[in-house]
Structure 1
Amino acid sequence: MDELIKNFLEDFGAVGIAILMLVENIFPPLPSEVVMPWAGYAVSQGRISAVAAVLAGSVGSFAGAMFWYFVGKRIGKDRLLRWVKGHGAWLTLTTGDIERTDDWFDRWGGWAVLFCRMVPGIRTFISVPAGFAEMEITRFSICTAIGTVLWTALLTGAGWWLADQHGSLAKPLSWVSWIVIGGLFLSWLWRLLRQQRSVAQN
């Protein structure tokens, strides 16, 4: 995966960064924790400016966040609760998860969006509860933009630094890829087992 990302960014530059970050937000198994450090590597090689890399990554990521926001808004809380009740088990989602998320938004609002846009594994889907909670779109956009720019800048800087330290990003980033994907899988598996145990006890 690392070599494919590297080659794609070499061929398409800033446009490639934006496309991959859009895909990352719609298809989470392609993590931003891999895409943006490669953009930082391109910056270190003089192929693109740091500003262009961060801007392109932020635009793609923001577009993906808006996609999920409108999905959540279109579905609505009631329909989402019905869907989760019937089909949420394989995603380890329960109606209680949805209710807690809704309460969380009532309490923290924009701060929840801003912070979660910088949390791996959560950043992609935080837009869905924001949508069904009918968070005001201007506020959502501002909070999403701030969190997104901070996150893409951090990852770009990390890639730039790793390139200076190691010369090649292939080895360190391959570890990052496996750690991120493995962590997401283990988190899903743990929630699934806990949910099944709870059902068995009841």
Structure 2
Amino acid sequence: MEDAFFSFISQFGYLAVFGLIFFENVFPPIPSELILPLSGFLVIQTSMELPLVIVSATIGSVVGAFVLYGIGRLLSQDRLESFFDTRPMRLLGFHSGDVAKAIGWFDRRGQITVLLCRCIPVVRSLISIPAGTAKMNVVRFTLYTLIGSAVWNTVLCSLGYAAGGAWETVTAQVEGFSDIVKVVIIVIAVIVIAFWVVKRIIPAMRENKSQQQ
């Protein structure tokens, strides 16, 4: 994969950086932890300039984020409420009112997470979906995404440039940080699921069983 990215960026320059980061935002498994330090290093090897590499990556980030934001807009509140009001979802402890509560929380306190999450591996792309579902103001979404993405891209591209031939060390360190984030997310998910089972699913199953008797 590294050789393919190396050749692609070397041949197409800024356009390649834009395209790869765009797809990284739409398909998170594509690693920005690899693309950005490599792009910074290739400034030394090619005619590219570091500021323009950062700008290209940031534009790709914003455009890619809007794809997921659009998907979030398609998942309207009405559609989600109808889905959560189905029998299978009720058996899992969900209620249509949960959607309104989640969107209300995002409107009041969650919008700043769009900015913060742009600097956190794994969730940096996915945060655009709830922003779209909550119909976050487009100008604010663009501004938060732009600032957060610019910080992330500037740091990784600059580190790759500064490291030179040792740019892979930067990638390894950032991937290590990403692994820690993944573990934290998994632990939180397990705790949330356990809490949900106790507080929602078990009572819902008991209620359903009593109604059938």
TM-score by length of 2: 0.74
- Displacement of 1:5 after TM fit? 2.0
Instruction: Look up the match of 1:143.
Output: 144
Instruction: Look up the match of 1:116.
Output: 117
Deviations 1:164-200 (A, max 9, x none): xxx24345524644663x4465456545644664566
Q: 1:169 aligns with which of 162, 167, 170?
A: 167
Note if 1:53 corresponds to 2:53: yes
Deviations 1:14-68 (A, max 9, x none): 1110111011111111122221111111123343101210111011111110011
Note if 1:73 corresponds to 2:73: yes
When residues 104 and 200 of structure 1 are mapped into structure 2, their CA distance, relative to the original with a 3 A threshold, is closer
Task: Could you tell me which runs of 5 or more consecutive residues in structure 2 were left unpaired when the two chains were aligned.
Answer: 203-213
- Displacement of 1:102 after TM fit? 3.0
Contact preservation (8 Å) 1:118, 1:151: yes
Contact preservation (8 Å) 1:68, 1:128: yes
When residues 60 and 101 of structure 1 are mapped into structure 2, their CA distance, relative to the original with a 3 A threshold, is farther
In the comparison of the two structures, how many residue pairs are matched?
A: 193
**How many angstroms apart in 2 are the aligned matches of 1:143 and 1:78?**
26
Contact preservation (8 Å) 1:9, 1:17: yes
**How many angstroms apart in 2 are the aligned matches of 1:175 and 1:82?**
44
What is the CA RMSD across the aligned residues, in angstroms? Answer: 3.1
Question: Amino acid of the residue matched to residue 138 of structure 2?
Answer: I
When residues 190 and 141 of structure 1 are mapped into structure 2, their CA distance, relative to the original with a 3 A threshold, is same
- Displacement of 1:161 after TM fit? 1.6
Contact preservation (8 Å) 2:159, 2:167: no
Task: Could you tell me which runs of 5 or more consecutive residues in structure 1 were left unpaired when the two chains were aligned.
Answer: 89-93
**Percent pairwise identity:** 29
Question: Amino acid of the residue matched to residue 15 of structure 2?
Answer: V
When residues 30 and 183 of structure 1 are mapped into structure 2, their CA distance, relative to the original with a 3 A threshold, is farther
Q: Bigger CA drift: 109-118 or 10-19?
A: 109-118
Question: Amino acid of the residue matched to residue 122 of structure 2?
Answer: G
Instruction: Look up the match of 1:44.
Output: 44
- Displacement of 1:106 after TM fit? 2.1
**How many angstroms apart in 2 are the aligned matches of 1:76 and 1:126?**
16
Q: Secondary structure at the match of 1:123?
A: helix
Note if 1:102 corresponds to 2:100: no
Instruction: Look up the match of 1:5.
Output: 5
Contact preservation (8 Å) 1:101, 1:129: no
Contact preservation (8 Å) 2:115, 2:148: yes
Deviations 1:121-175 (A, max 9, x none): 2110111111111111122112211211122111111111221xxx243455246
Contact preservation (8 Å) 2:161, 2:167: no
**Structure (1 or 2) with the larger CA radius of gyration:** 2
When residues 124 and 83 of structure 1 are mapped into structure 2, their CA distance, relative to the original with a 3 A threshold, is farther
Q: Secondary structure at the match of 2:51?
A: helix
Instruction: Look up the match of 1:27.
Output: 27
